[in-house]
Amino acid sequence: MIGAAQDWLEARVPFDDAARQQSLPLLDRAAQALLAADPTGRTPLTVVDLGAGTGKSAAWFRRHLSPRLPGRSINWLLVDAHEPSLEIATQHLTDADTVVTPLSDLPAALDNHLPERPAPGTLLLTCSAVLDVLTQDDVEAILTTLTTHHGVGLFLLSITADWHLEPADPRDPELAQAFADHQRRDGKLGAEGGEAMLRTARERGIHTTHGNSAWQLNAPRDTEFTRRFLTERVAAAVEASPELEVEARDWLETRNRQAADHLNVTVDHCDVLVDARRDH
């Protein structure tokens, strides 16, 4: 997916923000790694939000990272393949630079923005809701950038294959599988995105940590968002498995009714911290 719908990115914000409360321990560890690498705090830090879209995730990282790195000068860089999204992002994050590039070209695309001989721990790569839409080549490019610059990577909210609906419906697993198939189209990692990042980093001998940051959608508070979320999931599932169309339509009608009063949905996400500083 290049360029997610702007109103969808906007609608997600409260749910992403709530889920990322669970990511704060990993954010703390990332900040500690950056502080430990330069106890004087004099070397400017570069934070690059990958797949930044309209800037919602970068705004969250900035809000939560700045107090953890007091007094530190931070250059913000937003990277995405979709230029119109980045134009919106810079209306809010006015001091951030942007780079329009596919992530598979990341090391070269950042050349002009990062020092040739970087001090370890002066680069943080972040992303949120992005690993699952990437390919293995993108993951390799991100890790190459991190190892070249001895940086730290914090990759949040990568969707996994697990979602739990309460009450359960016997058709849930089949539709979840069809959605997972849709997410893997065109060589994308889909639900394996977080796992692929962890595995590939470990294969390169890079230290990793991981966590979970599920969305919790509860009726009746979240009726509108839950309906939109399920409608888009079902559309994707049917695109991957057209034979499910009738069943999926019936399932969606039932779920939309339940979303008004008693449906609770948990959507699991994986968080990954990658520490590619030389010494840790």
Ligand X SMILES: C[S@@+](CC[C@H](N)C(=O)[O-])C[C@H]1O[C@@H](n2cnc3c(N)ncnc32)[C@H](O)[C@@H]1O
Can you give the binding site for ligand X, defined by CB under 6 A?
Answer: 1-4, 9, 51-53, 56-57, 80-82, 85, 102-103, 128-130, 133-134, 138
For the bound state, the minimum distance from the C-beta of residue 123 to ligand X, rounded and expressed in Å, comes to 18
Our CB check for ligand X shows the closer of 11 and 161 to be 11
Our CB check for ligand X shows the closer of 23 and 258 to be 23
- Go through 13-23 and write b for each residue having 16 or more CB atoms within 10 A of its CB, e for each that does not: eebbeebbebb
Our CB check for ligand X shows the closer of 84 and 167 to be 84
For the bound state, the minimum distance from the C-beta of residue 235 to ligand X, rounded and expressed in Å, comes to 16
Question: DSSP string spanning 71-124?
Answer: T--EEEEEEES-HHHHHHHHHHSTT-EEEE--GGGHHHHTGGGS-SSPPTT-EE
Our CB check for ligand X shows the closer of 9 and 230 to be 9
Rounded CA separation 49/86 (Å) = 11
Going by C-alpha positions, the residue among 186, 192, 172 that lies closest to residue 233 is: 172
For the bound state, the minimum distance from the C-beta of residue 136 to ligand X, rounded and expressed in Å, comes to 11
For the bound state, the minimum distance from the C-beta of residue 14 to ligand X, rounded and expressed in Å, comes to 12
Our CB check for ligand X shows the closer of 21 and 40 to be 21
Q: Which residue has the tokens 């890079």?
A: 206
Phi, psi of 214 (to 5 degrees): -70, 150
- Residue 147: strand, helix, or coil: helix
Phi, psi of 226 (to 5 degrees): -60, -45
For the bound state, the minimum distance from the C-beta of residue 130 to ligand X, rounded and expressed in Å, comes to 5
Our CB check for ligand X shows the closer of 96 and 129 to be 129
CB 185 within 8 A of CB 200: no
Residues 6+ apart with CB under 8 A from 131: 139, 155, 158, 189, 193, 194, 196, 197, 270, 272
Residues 6+ apart with CB under 8 A from 118: 148, 149, 150, 151
Our CB check for ligand X shows the closer of 134 and 176 to be 134
For the bound state, the minimum distance from the C-beta of residue 167 to ligand X, rounded and expressed in Å, comes to 29
- Run of H or E residues at 28: helix 24-37
Q: For residue 243, what is the DSSP state?
A: G
Our CB check for ligand X shows the closer of 185 and 262 to be 185
For the bound state, the minimum distance from the C-beta of residue 201 to ligand X, rounded and expressed in Å, comes to 18
For the bound state, the minimum distance from the C-beta of residue 16 to ligand X, rounded and expressed in Å, comes to 6
